[in-house]
Amino acid sequence: MSTEILHGHAEVVSEAHGEHHEGHHHEESFISKYVFSMDHKMIARQFLITGIIWAIIGGLFSVLFRLQLGYPDMSLPFLEDIFGRWAQGGRITPEFYYALVTMHGTILVFFVLTAGLSGTFANLLIPLQVGARDMASPFLNMLSYWFFFLASVIMFASLFIQTGPAAGGWTIYPPLSALGQASDGSKLGMDFWLISMAMFIVSSLLGGLNYITTILNMRTRGMSMTRLPLTIWAIFFTAVLGVLSFPVLLSGAILLLFDRNLGTSFYLSDIVVKGEILPNEGGSAILFQHLFWFLGHPEVYIILLPAMGMVSEVLSVNSRKPIFGYLAMVGSLFAIAILAFLVWAHHMFVTGLNPFLGAFFVLLTLLIAIPSAIKVFNWLTTLWRGNIRFTPAMLFAIGFVSLFISGGLTGIFLGNSTLDIHLHDTYFVVAHFHIVMGVASFFGMFAGVYHWFPKLYSRYLNNTMAYIHFWITLAGAYLIFWPMHYEGLAGMPRRYVDYSSWESFKMFADLNRFISTVAMIVFAAQLMFVFNFFYSIFKGRRLRTENPWGSNTLEWTTPIHPGHGNWPGEIPEVHRWPYDYGKDGREFIPQTEPIGKDESAHH
Partner 1 sequence: MSGYLILAILALAFVVTFQIAKASEYVSVLKGEEKSFKQNNRINAALFIAFLVLGLIGAYWCNELYYKKTLLAMPAASDHGKKIDDMLWLTFAVTGFVFFLTQILLFWFTWKYQYTEKRKAFYLPHNNKLELIWTVVPAIFLTILVGFGLFYWFKITGDAPKDAQLVEITGKQFNWMMRYPGKDGVLGRKNYRLTDASNGNALGVDFEDAASHDDIEATEMHLVVGKPVKLIINAQDVIHDVGLTHFRMKMDAVPGIPTTIWFTPLYTTTQMKEITGNKEFVYEISCDQMCGNGHYSMKGQITVETQAEYEKWLSDKKPQYVLNMEAKAPAAPEMKAAADTVKAAMKPVAQVMNK
Phi-psi domain of 476 (left: phi exceeds 0; alpha: psi -120 through 50; beta: other): alpha
Element (H or E) spanning 542, and its range? none
Q: Least CB distance from residue 80 to partner 1, whole Å? A: 12
Among candidate residues 296, 240, 56, 36, the one with its CA nearest the CA of residue 147 = 36
Nearer to partner 1, 244 or 374 (CB): 374
Q: Least CB distance from residue 495 to partner 1, whole Å? A: 5
Nearer to partner 1, 160 or 377 (CB): 377
Phi, psi of 272 (to 5 degrees): -120, 110
Nearer to partner 1, 133 or 513 (CB): 513
Say if residues 121 and 446 touch (Cβ distance below 8 Å). Answer: no
Give the Cα separation of 155 and 195 in Å (integer). Answer: 9
Measure the N-to-C terminal CA separation of the chain; round to a whole number of Å. Answer: 39
Nearer to partner 1, 153 or 527 (CB): 527
Q: Which residues pair with 273 in a beta bridge?
A: 276
Q: How far is CA 246 from CA 43, 126, 207, 253, in A?
A: 21, 21, 12, 11
Say if residues 206 and 147 touch (Cβ distance below 8 Å). Answer: yes
Give the Cα separation of 317 and 391 in Å (integer). Answer: 10
Q: Least CB distance from residue 272 to partner 1, whole Å? A: 5
Q: Least CB distance from residue 148 to partner 1, whole Å? A: 27
Phi, psi of 224 (to 5 degrees): -70, 165
Q: Least CB distance from residue 566 to partner 1, whole Å? A: 28
Q: Give the CA dihedral 551, 556, 557, 563, nearest 10 degrees.
A: 180
Nearer to partner 1, 189 or 483 (CB): 483
Among candidate residues 432, 516, 433, 426, the one with its CA nearest the CA of residue 480 = 516
Nearer to partner 1, 325 or 568 (CB): 325
CA 124 distance to own-chain centroid: 15
Nearer to partner 1, 465 or 571 (CB): 465
Q: Least CB distance from residue 525 to partner 1, whole Å? A: 10
Nearer to partner 1, 4 or 19 (CB): 4
Q: Least CB distance from residue 149 to partner 1, whole Å? A: 30
Give the Cα separation of 574 and 219 in Å (integer). Answer: 10
Amino acid code (one letter) for 246? F
Give the Cα separation of 185 and 308 in Å (integer). Answer: 36
Q: Least CB distance from residue 174 to partner 1, whole Å? A: 8
Give the Cα separation of 86 and 239 in Å (integer). Answer: 39
Amino acid code (one letter) for 93? T
Nearer to partner 1, 31 or 327 (CB): 327
Q: Least CB distance from residue 223 to partner 1, whole Å? A: 18
Nearer to partner 1, 40 or 459 (CB): 459
Nearer to partner 1, 49 or 367 (CB): 367
Give the Cα separation of 124 and 144 in Å (integer). Answer: 14
Q: Least CB distance from residue 192 to partner 1, whole Å? A: 19
Q: Least CB distance from residue 45 to partner 1, whole Å? A: 23
Say if residues 74 and 25 touch (Cβ distance below 8 Å). Answer: no
Element (H or E) spanning 272, and its range? strand 272-273
Q: Least CB distance from residue 186 to partner 1, whole Å? A: 8
Tell me if residue 579 falls in helix, strand or coil.
coil
Amino acid code (one letter) for 318? N
Among candidate residues 426, 438, 427, 445, the one with its CA nearest the CA of residue 476 = 438
Nearer to partner 1, 147 or 427 (CB): 427
